Amino acid sequence: MVRSLKEKRRILKSLVTRIRNTFNVSIAEVAENDSLGKAMLGAAVVANNSAFADEVAAKVMNRIDNMSEVVLVEFQTELY
């Protein structure tokens, strides 16, 4: 558990940078900014093939789920 917002932001910045660089997606903290125990991230994939977008989204969720610094509690995907 993090002890300060500074520590939380350090962990999230590292996570967001790794995800962005690995999967070429847009990702940011979108809610729970001032909460020590939680963070909500939003990620976007732009592709001309929905199967490819689904694959990238699944890989992003799996990578986050396998990180020791965080616990993935819930996720959802939307296609447009």
Read off the pLDDT band of 13 (50, 70, 90).
very high
User: What integer best gives the mean pLDDT of the chain?
Assistant: 89
Per domain, the residue ranges of the chain are 5-65
pLDDT at 35: 85
Give the percent of the chain with pLDDT over 70.
100
Coil, strand, or helix at residue 40? strand
**Total-model pTM:** 0.80
- Is residue 74 very low, low, confident or very high in pLDDT (cuts 50, 70, 90)? confident
Question: Phi and psi dihedrals of 12, rounded to 5?
Answer: -65, -40
